Amino acid sequence: MLIVANWKAYVEDLKKAKKLLAVSKRLTHVSKVNIVLAPPAPLLGALAIRNKSKVSFGAQDVSRTTGGAQTGEVTAQSYVAAGATYAIIGHSERRALGETNTVISEKLAHALAHGMLPILCVGEHERDGEGRYLSYIREELTAAMGPLTPKERVQVIIAYEPLWAIGKTATDAIQSGDLAEMVLYIRKVIGELLPGKSARHTTILYGGSVEPSNIRGLAGSSGVDGFLVGHASADPVVFRELVKQLS
């Protein structure tokens, strides 16, 4: 199992960040879960540059630029220099700010060009009885990954995060049966983009109201390879319990 802890802007000081890192380090010794921490950019460098543990680090976003006169932009190369090996791209909160599939595809390419493993976020706003949301997911996947080479597409991790399930309680989150269907559908679409049987090996994560009370059930029968966790990952007690439920 892979758990990506997206701290968003919940963690704003180095003291709390170091505490969360210490908890994550201990968890890697007692569990089989691979942990990726995605702190805010200024904290990432402070935590990752001297990291010698099994904990990995990821960027919450990367710029579509490659450097130069771009005030405020943080490039993929800068993140790699700071110690990040993963990059969250196309998160729903970035899409809500106007990020298009074209921009997301460019960011994927930049991350891959610098050796990062991109985590492509996709997810529908709502579900309809006619299944139109499936076409929405297909469009997000194909538009973002289509411009990439087959060799690049193989490296992309998919994070399915339905917007209607974000910020809710475990009882309002997706059910394991529905999640299993979505995992199969995503693999079907990915199979059309990848050669041979490569889609079987694509890592698929789930994000959306993941809590200690439902994470084991979602993991056990849905076919997901891990989770993209937001607010819960910024609480050391809750995050510890999340990982323990998968151990």
Report, as residue numbers or ranges, the catalytic residues.
Answer: 91, 161
Query: How many angstroms separate the CA atoms of 112 and 93, rounded?
Result: 22
With CA atoms as reference, report the closest residue to 142 among 185, 108, 190, 104: 190
Percentages (nearest 5) of helix, strand, coil residues in the chain: 45, 15, 40
CB hemisphere CA count around 142 (13 angstroms): 11
Strand partners, 204: 158
Burial call 15-45: b when 16+ CB within 10 Å, e when fewer: ebbeebbebbeebbeebebebbbbbebebbb
Asked if residue 66 lies in contact with residue 80, where contact means CB atoms within 8 angstroms, the answer is: no
Asked if residue 118 lies in contact with residue 109, where contact means CB atoms within 8 angstroms, the answer is: no
